[in-house]
Amino acid sequence: MPLDFTCPHCGQRTMVGDQYAGQTGPCARCGQMVTIPAAAGGGPAAAYPAPPQRSKAGLIIGIIVGILVLCGGGIGVVGWLGYRAFDEAQQRAESQRDLHQVAIGLHNHFDVYSSLPSPASYDASGKPLLSWRVHLLPYLDQSNLYDQFHLDEPWDSPHNKQLISEIPSVYRMHGDTAAEGKTRILAAAGKDTMFEAPQGGFPRSPQSGITFGQVTDGLSNTVMLLEVPAEQAVIWTKPDDWQVSPQQLDTLANDLAQGKTVRVVMGDASTHTISANTQRDMLRRLFDRRDGEAIDPDWQR
């Protein structure tokens, strides 16, 4: 029958099976070594056959398991949640670093050509060939990869398709669930954006994009890049970006209202997360490089 045992060190009172009488192990509360006293009368009642003797190691393991079940389980859950939060924070920091590195590459491109890259390179008919992400490679220490592309061919030509799997790590977000060869780093493209497509005069140099002087609202007030969800990722070599349109802005505003987050890179290479309470009209102002309208300082968090 169970024994009523009180730890002499911490005063913890515990009901212990009589088969543990005379054995020694750590207290479940304080960890001090204790010995379970024999039952009154020198042993367990005769009605109960004597169980086989267990080793002290087995007792210790049993006590440890009991502690984990009774209280350590909660500690384990808290510890796991803490690790998960730390891991997610680290991934966010690394992803932010990659976004910033791409933005710095764009600024280095500007230092050489006095412009951002065009959204794509184009053939004589104006057909897009390769994304700006390909033409930025020399400014991301990826000149060897850049030299492997056939620049006069589209992204899905037999040769260029072979290079999709060579996506640089800077274009892959840490912990990314997007398909291999795809990136979540997209340019904010479209009319009056920092990646507005050139008009006429093809073929056009892939280096002849928007100049900073054309961003009259100010670089710190204009979105240049954004990080899209994994399901919206695109093949990194394909001329495919986040097209700023009334429909896209409506969708983005709804996503924010539902608690989703969107990280963006401004023209000055600073990274921010758009606040959940940012209204649709404010989003329009953030993507338009020259509307001349004021920006609410609370748009970011």
**What is the dihedral sign for C-alpha 37, 38, 40, 46?**
positive
- How many other C-beta atoms lie within 10 A of the C-beta of residue 8? 11
Mean pLDDT over 76-86 rounds to: 50
Angstrom distance (rounded) from CA 288 to CA 190: 9
Q: Is the pLDDT of residue 53 over 70?
A: no
Structure tokens at 155: 């992204």
Q: How confident is the model at residue 114 (pLDDT cuts 50, 70, 90)?
A: very high
Q: Taking the model in full, what pTM does it have?
A: 0.71
pLDDT, tens digit (0-9, with 9 covering 90-100), for 29-51 = 666 666 777 655 444 433 333 44
Indicate the pairing of strand 185-189 with strand 242-243. Answer: parallel
Q: Is the pLDDT of residue 226 over 60?
A: yes
pLDDT, tens digit (0-9, with 9 covering 90-100), for 142-197 = 999 999 999 999 999 999 999 999 999 999 977 778 889 999 999 999 999 999 99
Average confidence score pLDDT of the chain: 83
